[in-house]
Structure 1
Amino acid sequence: MKKNEHVNGICCGYTKDGHGVVKIDGFPLFVKGMLENEEGELVITMVKKSYGYARLLNLHKTSAERVKPVCPLAKQCGGCQLQHMSYKEQLRYKKQKVQDVIDRIAKLDLKVEDVLGMEHQLYYRNKGQIPVGLKNNIVQTGFYRINSNEIIDMNTCLIQSERINTVLAVMKELLVSYENASVFRHLLIKDGFHTGEVMVVWITRKKNFPHKEDMVKELVDRLPFVKSIVLNLNTREDNVILGKEEEVLYGQSFITDTIHGLKFHISSKSFYQVNPVQTEVLYGKALEFCEIKGNETILDMYCGVGTISMFLAQKAKKVIGIEIVEQAIKNAKENALNNGISNIEFVCSDAASYAKKLSEENMKPDIIVVDPPRKGCDQITLDSIVKMSPQRIVYVSCDPATLARDLRILEDSGYHCIKVQPVDMFPFSHHIENVAQLIKNK
């Protein structure tokens, strides 16, 4: 099998990224944009030792689950990978993706639950992180082309909230009008879905530049729902988006949103789930898996601005939230105060270090909730969790593979996984969130 060779094949499944898999004499080819059971002509683009890549040239048989992408930039933009799939097929693929790693990595005899999907799959994101650039002196705002640093210029993204799109359109006009787009690296826009408050973060190469005050005034005059404008200075030469130094240009350093009746302050750097509708579903499932009776002490690791912590504190005796981001902990403490929740304590610390400290102090929480970043929990954290010996562990994960890895470790350390519940937080993308419930073996 060689590069540029033409072959015909049938798609028999999907990769973790949602590419079709076509096997030619047992050799797997990964084909972007091909759906299961479709037949077509392919051209091989790369051959490696145990697999290859191919491009779909012609479809001979089309799946009933193939749909026309709703976005005209779907094939160019790297933001959505699954717009050619029906939503039913997206959910089926995501369930299988989770089941595959539970079987292969976790090696558990466990049937993954059906994915909890969304009724309306457009305009769901409350956060937009948009690169700004110039091409032939023309301002460009959009997302990066797949596997590239080239900006695909766009004015509307169909998965961002309509308020974010409105802010983006006005900001683009201002950048053109005031001719200072070269100072800007990114725009970070956060939308309080339930309150209607919007924060706009200007991520810039310079702290001072012409017409800064004029832009602030015009943006607020034109869009009164903008309640916070923050300048974030980033002079780095790498791909890190946010710099360390910030200045509030208008309003306060946060906006407010609500989840399930609780108010939350959201700052530029604090973590907050990007899909508010499904966040209630996700956290509701985490709360259900905790099986709180009322007398429990719960440890919430990687607590962010305290969203899960406060869900838990409404039913538990005491909650301790741990988060390494100082601003997030500041927001979490404010959030608890604003919501009148007093049975909660927030600690700014690395999760692994603090978990180790608590285990050495022989702390014994009844339940531990973890919601780590994509890389999952490290060995120190997992060892400390096991040493603290909670009756239940609820693991919220944004990466099925690292979840499966950690479940295997916990299974080997005296815990048993009862359920894995996928929740679709990111329609049209290959990402899937999960909540796992583990109990201590008797």
Structure 2
Amino acid sequence: MALKKGQEVELEIIDAAFKGKGLAKVDGLAVFVPGTTPGDKVIARIIKKKKKYREAKLLEILEPSPHRIEPRCRHANVCGGCSWQHIPYAKQLEFKTQQVRDHIERIGHLDGSIVKMGIGADEEFYYRNKMEYSISARRWLTQEEINRDEYVDDSAFAAGLHAPGRFDKILNLKECHLQVPESFQILDFVRNYCIEHGITPYDTFEDSGFMRHVMIRNSHHTDDFMVNLVTFQDDQEVMQKMARALLEEFPFITTIVNNVNDTKSPTAIGRFEKVLHGPGFIVDEIGDFTFKIHPNAFFQTNTAQAEKLYEIARNYAELQDGDIVYDLYCGVGTLSLFMSKPAKHVLGIELVDVAVKNARFNAEENNVGNVSFIKGDMKDVFTEEVVKTHGAPNVLITDPPRAGMHADVVERLCELKVPRIVYVSCNSSTMARDLKELNKVYEIEEVQPVDMFPQTYHIEAVAKLKLREPEE
């Protein structure tokens, strides 16, 4: 069967594949169908034709999988925020673990048995400590509206999340179960307040309007609660009235901030910022360490799971008194601080200047004196001067972005022969690629997946590496 673009075909989903898509096979050809789960029998339309595979859109479920459940949220089949709500959480964890194991075997050419069962989250919903809702003058139409013969107006004060693959259209949320319930209540209040008071939504194409984003942060370990209102214009009279209305309705809010982004950039980071109420930051903890989190600062999105992830990384490091630790891609230094006991010294290395400044601030705030941070590109930083100043590392932590480590960094690590390496990854495919090369010098002892994002296909993983004994 040729499977041409536009063709409708009956499929049986046999596995969960990359990015959470269901996998079917037709005469040996892979067909990927989002929104499905292993065991589903479906009708789908081919929408993309590639040499070795096809991508299809789900049209109808003929026979649901025994693993399929009813999603909690009415937007689950449309919203890109949590695309696996139709799968029980225990099965999600199985599929994610298998995904890591598949990457380790297929890309890393390693024994899949080193991959342990993924560690799940205690909270399947309401686990995020930050949500960034967008506001637009155009809403995403429902499938029912799209199928109508007559014209349907998409103009509205839409508040929610971007429709998958669209920068200009917002899914106008009626509910959301990713952050604590108060988060959506605040979004709904701001939407209704703006409509009632004639405050306009930002229009991407016209480059006009007022409201752009509502970003909400809540602390896992304290009662701190932040609302960050991102606007296109600076109008403090309007914002002060809105802040007072928010505090009257939600007195538990501890700080309200107004970021003003008067550029065409879609980011929620303002060109400047004004504090409308409270200190302008919230306080949270990871392990024994306290962090002041400002509106635009990076902080792990799932605090409880981040603590589990960091604990695994610290156990894998097997830290001993007197150890010197290098932490590559250290960000704002949370993992560096977590590794500071009982190490003699931890050196955090990061390319982003503002992250280095935040890391130094976090170390100072926590009175940690055996951690320092330098700015530099990972592939260029292992100079004799750095090693002479900070000492040769006994342990190296690497937590690269989704693209993994640069090939030059991997090569340098093989040359350095640090006794112990801990590799923290948000993308098991690029981690497997890097481990394949590191395996020439290091034994990959264990890989532990950790689920930071229930209801999605994303999975973190931590790998434990030990320098191979020299051959006699």
Do both share a fold (TM > 0.5)? Answer: yes
Q: Take 2:109 and 2:409, find their aligned partners in 1: how far apart are those partners?
A: 21
1:307 equivalent among 322, 334, 340 = 334
Match of 2:400 in 1: 372
Q: CA deviation at 1:35?
A: 1.9
Shift of 1:327: 4.2
Q: Quick check: 1:359–1:384 contact (8 Å CA) kept in 2?
A: no
Corresponding residue SS for 1:337: helix
Structure-2 change in CA distance of 1:230 and 1:8 (3 Å): same
- Partner residue, 2:132: 129
Q: 1:379 to 1:321 in 2, by over 3 A?
A: same
- Asked if 2 retains the 8 angstrom alpha-carbon contact of 1:303 and 1:309, the reply is yes
SS in structure 2 of the partner of residue 23 of structure 1:
strand
Please list the CA deviations of residues 51-96 of structure 1 after superposition, one character each: whole Å capped at 9, or x if unmatched: 1123344444432211011110111111111111111221111111
Could you tell which deviates more after superposition, 400-409 or 134-143?
134-143
The residue number in structure 2 matching 1:395 is 423
SS in 2 for 1:119: coil
The size of the alignment, in residue pairs, is 441
Does residue 366 of structure 2 align to residue 339 of structure 1? yes
Letter in 2 for 1:233: V
- Aligned: 1:165 with 2:184: yes
Give, in whole Å, the separation in 2 of the partners of 1:110 and 1:223.
Answer: 50
Q: Distance in 1 between the 2:36 and 2:175 partners? A: 26
1:143 and 2:126 are equivalent in the alignment: no
* Cα separation, 1, equivalents of 2:282 and 2:12: 50
- Which residue of 1 is the match for residue 257 of structure 2? 230
SS at match of 2:187: helix
Corresponding position of 1:117? 120
Deviation of 1:277 after TM superposition, in Å, equals: 1.4
Instruction: Describe the shift of the 1:174–1:193 C-alpha distance in structure 2 as closer, same or farther (beyond 3 A).
Output: farther
Secondary structure, counterpart of 2:14 in structure 1: strand
- Return the TM-score normalized by structure 2: 0.86
How many Å apart are 1:209 and its aligned residue?
5.9
Length-normalised TM-score, structure 1: 0.91
Cα drift, residue 34 of structure 1: 2.3
1:421 to 441, 448, 455: 448
Deviation at 1:270, TM superposition (A): 2.3
SS state of the match for residue 17, structure 1? helix
State the match for 1:212 in structure 2.
239
Q: Which amino acid counterpart does residue 373 of structure 1 have in structure 2?
A: P
Distance 1:225 1:322, change over 3 A: farther
1:252 aligned partner, one-letter code: P
The question of whether the paired residues in 1 share the 8 Å contact of 2:239 and 2:258 is answered with no
Task: Report the Cα distance in structure 1 between the residues aligned to 2:303 and 2:173, rounded to whole angstroms.
Answer: 24
Q: Does 1:174 align with 2:193?
A: yes
Within the alignment, does 1:438 sit opposite 2:456 as a pair?
no
Q: Could you tell me which amino acid in structure 1 is paired with residue 417 of structure 2?
A: S
Name the SS for the 1:106 alignment partner. coil
1:13-32 paired onto structure 2 within 5 Å: 13-32=15-34
Q: Deviations over 1:85-113 (max 9, x none)?
A: 11122111111111111112111124211
Q: Distance in 2 between matches of 1:350 and 1:198?
A: 35
Q: Determine the C-alpha separation between the residues in 1 that align with 2:182 and 2:317.
A: 35
Task: Measure, in 1, the Cα distance between the counterparts of 2:370 and 2:156.
Answer: 54
2:437 is the counterpart of 1:406: no
Paired residue type of 2:74: P
1:306 aligned partner, one-letter code = G
SS in 1 for 2:20: coil
- Quote how far apart the aligned CAs of 1:359 are: 6.0
Tell me: CA distance 1:195–1:155, structure 2 relative to 1, closer, same or farther (3 Å): farther
Secondary structure of the equivalent of 2:213? strand
Alignment CA distance shift 1:79-1:355 (3 Å)? farther
Distance 1:368 1:85, change over 3 A: same
Q: 1:382 aligns with which of 405, 410, 413?
A: 410
What is the CA–CA distance in structure 2 between the aligned matches of 1:393 and 1:407, rounded to whole Å? 11
Q: Deviation at 1:310?
A: 1.7
SS in 2 for 1:46: strand
CA distance in 2, matches of 1:355, 1:223: 51
| Residue aligned with 2:15, SS | strand
CA shift, 1:421, in A, is: 0.7
SS of the aligned residue for 2:258 comes to strand
1:273 aligns with 2:300: yes
RMSD: 2.4
1:120, distance to aligned residue in structure 2 (A): 2.6
Residues 30-49 of structure 1 aligned to structure 2 (within 5 Å): 30-49=32-51
Which deviates further from its counterpart, 206-215 or 349-358? 349-358
Q: Which amino acid aligns with 2:71?
A: P
Equivalent pair of 1:141/1:155 in contact (CA under 8 Å):
no
Aligned to 1:195: 222
Check whether the contact 1:13–1:36 (CA below 8 A) recurs between aligned residues: yes
Amino acid at match of 2:188: A
Report the Cα distance in structure 2 between the residues aligned to 1:401 and 1:357, rounded to whole angstroms: 32
Q: Is the 8 A contact 2:224 2:253 kept in 1?
A: yes
Question: Once the 2 structures are TM-superposed, how far is the Cα of residue 29 of structure 1 from its aligned partner?
Answer: 1.3
